[in-house]
Amino acid sequence: MSELSVPSRRSWAEPWKVKVVEPVRLTTPEQREAAIREAGWNTFLLRSDDVYIDLLTDSGTSAMSDNQWAGMMLGDEAYAGSRNFYHLVEAVQEHYGYRYLVPTHQGRGAEHILSQTLIKPGDVVPGNMYFTTTRLHQELAGGRFVDVIIPEAHDPASEHPFKGNVDLDALESVIRENGKDRIPYVCLHATVNMAGGQPVSLENARAVRELTARYGIPVYMDATRAVENAYFIQQREPGQSAKSVKEILREFCSLTDGCTMSGKKDPLVNIGGWLATNDPALYEEASNLVVVYEGLHTYGGMAGRDMEAMARGIAESVQDDHIRARIGQVEYLGNKIAGWGIPIVKPIGGHAVYLDARAIYDHLPQDRFPAQMLAAQLYLDAGVRAMERGIVSAGRDPATGDHRYPRLELVRLTIPRRVYTQAHMDVVAESVAAVYSVRKSTPGLRMVYEPKYLRFFQARFEPEA
Ligand code: F0G
């Protein structure tokens, strides 16, 4: 018998097996053509029944574990003081380390409460790149967002390992120009969604902490994908590889005063969120406001069972083997696409592979919506649903009314947690290759309907003749 040669680099697999399956529907090209037309060439307006592989978002699309589903049956649906609320508080204190918790229905509920509590008209909020809902809540409270991310973040080809980092000189200039009293807090996203799911290093977070402390300015984190950020620190930051993701997460959070959280991402649930803080005065005001907009301060718009599922999801989300497999799947897809020479954002991000639509459709100017068109083409090719993250998402400048022209014009292939297999990833990669091969003859789009707020959700388009 001949000797088998065992490869030196062994394969890994997910730390779970499948217990329940959900059928997905295959459609014909004619059906997809009709569906995208009806949806105004906007993937947000497609019916999910018409989608084969849904990579619109990783938000609220995760598969819960049997342990989380078991917790759903233990929902204490009392109006006030549900036991699940206290379990959630314990989970947040243990894994994120913040003292006080205000539950909300999802992330933007927390952003609303934080913005209304801290921002006064005329204030300036520096942050490492905007996020759509976060910036809008800052603006609605009378504030102005200022981007202080490092320049590498705007370059899809830069291989900087921490493209989410804050440019410390830029931050200090914003503080000096506006005065510390005009800066209610610094908003630190970890990871940075709009930059391609890029992380912030521990060293940079520590430097932000030291700088802002000199001026007495608090730091609030968008912790939506902070576990993914912690994994990148473990993998990439010198001196961090011996620590667990759990330890790194606690250390990172300790450099901030609190956070807003969309529980629909890292924490592995379909709905829920929270605002956390170490500041008793902010907690008091936020728990007063939450009863106006979300629900009582012990449920904030969530059912007891939702809070239980999230408490259990948080504990699962910080396990090294979970997060390694989660990000490993994203890397698998990204490496496959990049291996064919198709331009994507490098390094591959935590929750998604971002296609560089500007480079792919280099014959289309940005106001002919190349990323919007690329997302539509992926749907037409194989029923894969992706999301535009370019000029449509960036919206208009409230002062001038003009389009904002972001340097990044991207399509996001966002991977839900624990939902799809490697075979699904192969189908997606091949669909990207097929769309790429006909890129030169693909026309642009015209916007024919534009809503006032967060236009990317509901805008409608038509292809150019
Ligand atoms: N912050 C970040 C970084 C996000 O990615 C999101 C949501 C939010 C805040 C808002 O949270 O949806 O629970 O209200 N991102 C989703 C996405 C919608 O597809 O990236 P939410």
Active site residue 222: yes
- Of 295, 317, 339, the last residue of a domain is 317
pLDDT higher than threshold 90 for residue 398? no
Are residues 346 and 451 located together in one domain of the fold? yes
User: Any idea which residue has 């408490």 for tokens?
Assistant: 311
User: What atom of ligand 1 comes closest to residue 225's alpha carbon?
Assistant: 3
Residues 207-233, mean pLDDT to the nearest whole number: 98
Q: Based on the number of CB atoms within 10 Å of its own CB, is 277 exposed (0-12), middle (13-18) or buried (19 or more)? A: buried
Give the active site residue among 389, 412, 417, 418.
Answer: 389
Q: What is the CATH number of the domain that holds 36?
A: 3.90.1150.10
Q: Are residues 443 and 387 in the same domain?
A: yes
Q: Are residues 120 and 254 in the same domain?
A: yes
**pTM confidence score:** 0.95
Q: Which of 152, 127, 323 is nearest to 233 (CA)?
A: 323
- Give how many domains the chain has, as a whole number: 2
Could you say which of 131, 162, 232, 379 is catalytic? Answer: 131
417 is catalytic: no
Is 12 part of any domain? no
Residue 5 lies in a domain: no
User: Around Cβ 15, how many Cβ atoms within 10 Å?
Assistant: 14
CA 382 to centroid of ligand 1, rounded, Å: 26
| Residues 355, 305 share a domain | no
The catalytic position among 117, 132, 277, 414 is: 132
Cα–chain-centroid distance for residue 425? 19
DSSP class of 352: E
Domain interval for residue 356? 29-58+320-463
Each residue's pLDDT tens digit, 255-299: 999 999 999 999 999 999 999 999 999 999 999 999 999 999 999
DSSP state string for 46-57: S-GGG-SEE-S-
Per the annotation, the verdict on 265 as an active-site residue is yes
pLDDT, residue 216, reads 98
Instruction: Tell me the three state secondary structure of residue 354.
Output: strand
Is the pLDDT reported for residue 1 higher than 80? no
**Which residues, in sequence order, are bridge partners of residue 327?**
none
pLDDT at 2: 66
Q: What is the pLDDT of residues 362-385, one digit of tens each?
A: 999 999 999 999 999 999 999 999
- Asked whether residue 6 is assigned to any structural domain, the reply reads no
Task: Tell me, yes or no, whether 327 and 442 share the same domain.
Answer: yes
Tell me whether strands 387-389 and 410-414 are parallel, antiparallel or unpaired.
antiparallel
Where does a domain end: 272, 301, 317? 317
Residues 199, 267, single domain; the answer is: yes
Atom 19, ligand 1: residue with shortest CA distance? 57
